[in-house]
Amino acid sequence: MKKTLLTLIVVLSFAANAGAVNVNGKVQVMGRPSWAKVITVVYAEPIDGSRVQPGRFSMSQRNKTFSPTVLPVPAGSTIEFPNDDRVFHNVFSLSRPGSFDLGLYRAGASKSRLFSTPAIYRIFCNIHPQMTAVVLVLPTSYFTLTNPAGGYSLDLPPGRYRVTVWSERSTPSTAEISVAAAPVAVSDLRLDESKFVEVSHKNKFGEDYPALAYDPMIDRKSR
């Protein structure tokens, strides 16, 4: 019985991947300091259109940081924002088209939101100005992160794709590819991060954070 189940799982997972072709490459990055930990996303959007398969994802708040700090999801996905910290947090975004505010909530609590339209959401906490993250709502289910050396690999069904590389420090770069039977090596994706300048953001009212917000002592009050 157990063996039958295992065989079935193997057959099913093979079927889901049947006909998929490996697409890989290495993103060339210019102007990134060696100390910077930059999350780089590569996604492949079918040019001829295909159904996007949404899912459930999570971005938690822990040690006064969002984790992960960059979260790519297919359009239509729901993201949970659990507070896994010992202090109160807030989650908000002023990004378009769907700016939102999940309100202030306590340790152990969680709120979620549906992200239906492709967009880039900058996520903040109204209490802690150092908490920043990005949600990338993508028009595709095919995406991955690059490894530290810039390498990436995606398994795609045959077809034509627009492959895009994105990081917070650059304008994105794209390449069009055709996927048939043989693996595809993509060579022309580049990011120029040399013009990146870090800018401070406003709170959810569009105002500067109070000076006290930058003082770690404030957390004693919200415990």
Residue 219 Cβ vs Cu ion, minimum distance, rounded to whole Å? 9
Give me the least distance between CB of 135 and Cu ion, in Å please.
16
Considering only residues 102, 128, 165, 167, which one is a binding residue for Cu ion as defined by CB under 5 A?
128
CA proximity to 83, closest of 112, 54, 55, 56: 112
Stretch touching Cu ion by CB under 5 A, among 12-20, 110-118, 130-138, 171-179: 130-138
Toward Cu ion, which CB reaches closer, 131 or 135? 131
> Which listed residue (29, 38, 59, 127) binds Cu ion by CB under 5 A?
127
Contact in structure between 186 and 178 (CB atoms under 8 Å): no
Between 192 and 219, CB nearer to Cu ion: 219
* Chain mean position to CA 180: 28
Q: How far is the CB of 197 from Cu ion (least distance, A)?
A: 24
Q: How far is CA 7 from CA 13, 15, 137, 144, in A?
A: 10, 12, 35, 28
93 binds Cu ion (CB under 5 A): no
**Tokens (6 digits) for 68:** 């992960």
Counting contacts by CB under 5 A, is residue 134 touching Cu ion?
A: no
Q: Does 89 bind Cu ion (CB under 5 A)?
A: yes
Q: Which residue is nearest to Cu ion (CB)?
A: 125
Closest separation in Å from C-beta 62 to Cu ion: 10
- The 29-48 contact track toward Cu ion, x by CB under 5 A, reads --------------------
Residue from 125, 133, 136, 137 that binds Cu ion (CB under 5 A)?
Answer: 125
Residue pair 106/88 in contact (Cβ under 8 Å)? The answer is yes
Does the bond joining 148 to the residue before it have cis omega, within 30 degrees of 0?
A: no
The DSSP H or E segment spanning 93 is strand 89-93
Alpha-carbon distances, residue 61 vs 87, 88, 106, 205 (angstroms): 10, 10, 11, 21
- What are the residues binding Cu ion (CB under 5 A)? 89, 125, 127-128, 131
